[in-house]
């Protein structure tokens, strides 16, 4: 029997790792970041996002309150005339009403709210009509079911007391078509 020598003995297993191997890798090291881009440190943190969103929300709420308060204390327009609009025989399902308002600055508006069948080949025109039914003052085309028309200072509502909604063809003729949908007298 021979005596074992150093060369014949299997190496002993290490029982503990050196402290250097147990440390976390230095992710800031440029050579490691280049090898694994996911391990690179984040350039920007999102910690600023919550305070920014809070600030924006606060500004939005403040602006909403400020605008609401600003409208609340301002004088509202005064209604100086109104009229329910009656359907004509050719347009029995049409309905609507008209009001005339004056703002604190003295501007007058005719507000028309109407419900009519949709015009197929034309549009709906709003007119002020003289007492004798011969004079027509065009306010404008009705777009949608409600519209505000500015009323120029020279238009005397006592000379044009009737409001008429007519169906107009797109034919280049600017005058009333004679196809009246709704009519009412301001009072």
Going residue by residue through the chain, which has 187 residues, state the pLDDT in tens, using 9 for 90 and above: 555 555 565 555 655 555 555 555 555 555 555 555 555 555 566 778 888 888 888 888 888 777 766 666 678 899 999 999 999 999 999 999 999 999 999 999 999 999 998 777 889 999 999 999 999 999 999 988 999 999 999 999 999 999 999 998 887 777 888 889 999 999 8
CB neighbours (10 Å) of residue 108? 18
pLDDT for res 19: 53
pLDDT for res 52: 85
Distances (CA, A) of 126 to 69, 136, 148, 179, 183: 35, 10, 11, 12, 10
Query: 73-82 b/e with 16+ CB inside 10 Å = b?
Result: eeeebeeebe
Which residues have a Cβ under 8 Å from the Cβ of 16 and sit 6 or more positions away? none
pLDDT for res 60: 86
Reported as a single tens digit per residue, the pLDDT across 25-39 is 555 555 555 555 555
pLDDT for res 7: 57
Reported as a single tens digit per residue, the pLDDT across 69-96 is 666 667 889 999 999 999 999 999 999 9
Asked if residue 96 lies in contact with residue 165, where contact means CB atoms within 8 angstroms, the answer is yes
């Amino acid at each position: 029997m021979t005596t074992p020598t150093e060369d014949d003995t299997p190496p002993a297993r290490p029982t503990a790792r050196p402290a250097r191997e147990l440390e976390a890798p230095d992710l800031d090291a440029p050579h490691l970041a280049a090898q694994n881009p996911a391990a690179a440190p984040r350039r920007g943190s999102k910690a600023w996002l919550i305070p920014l969103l809070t600030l924006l929300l606060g500004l939005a709420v403040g602006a909403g309150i400020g605008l609401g308060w600003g409208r609340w204390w301002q004088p509202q327009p005064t209604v100086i005339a109104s009229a329910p609009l009656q359907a004509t025989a050719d347009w029995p399902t049409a309905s609507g009403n008209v009001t005339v308002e004056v703002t604190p600055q003295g501007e007058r508006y005719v507000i028309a709210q109407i419900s009519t069948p949709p015009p197929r080949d034309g549009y709906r025109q709003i007119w002020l009509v003289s007492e004798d039914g011969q004079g027509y003052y065009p306010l404008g085309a009705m777009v949608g079911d409600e519209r505000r028309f500015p009323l120029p200072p020279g238009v005397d509502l006592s000379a044009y007391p009737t409001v008429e909604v007519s169906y107009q063809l797109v034919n280049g003729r600017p005058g009333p078509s004679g196809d009246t949908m709704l009519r009412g007298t301001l009072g």
